[in-house]
Amino acid sequence: MSDHRAILSEHLRDARALVDTLEWQRTAMVEASIASNADDEHDPEGATIAFERAQLDATIVEIRHRITELAAALSRVDDGTYGICIHCGLPIPPARLEARPSATAHVDCAPGAPAPPR
């Protein structure tokens, strides 16, 4: 499990660094727009500053959610439940954990998975 801890810790560090960078960019964007007298709502050149800020905000929310999931996965490593499906109790295949280290279920039990044939 120490390999899982190291991998999860690395992903968590990367996600935290990314959210810090994005928040810095958002702050810089807001400060730049305060100092500007540009009328971005009527700018024919494309996306408005408000639209770009909204995209950045959505990305920050998504990365924060990823941080929460990774922290929860580290807790599961500590309590010995990492890699065990929360729905059926079977092991989550290593390939799934490699693709999505914070996975709590294997593909068949994951939310949105098609029901098995009868």
For 21-44, write each residue's pLDDT tens digit. 999 999 988 887 776 655 555 555
Asked if 90 and 77 touch (Cβ cutoff 8 Å), the reply is no
Say what the pTM is.
Answer: 0.79
pLDDT at 30 (0 to 100)? 80
**Residue type for 27, please?**
T
Tokens of residue 34, six digits: 């305060």
* Separation between Cα atoms, residue 107 and residue 59, nearest integer Å: 25
* Separation between Cα atoms, residue 90 and residue 88, nearest integer Å: 6
Ordered by start, the domain boundaries in the chain are 2-82, 83-118
Averaged over 41-65, what is the pLDDT? 81
**Bridge partners, 91 (sequence order):** 84
For 59-89, write each residue's pLDDT tens digit. 999 999 999 999 999 999 999 999 999 999 9
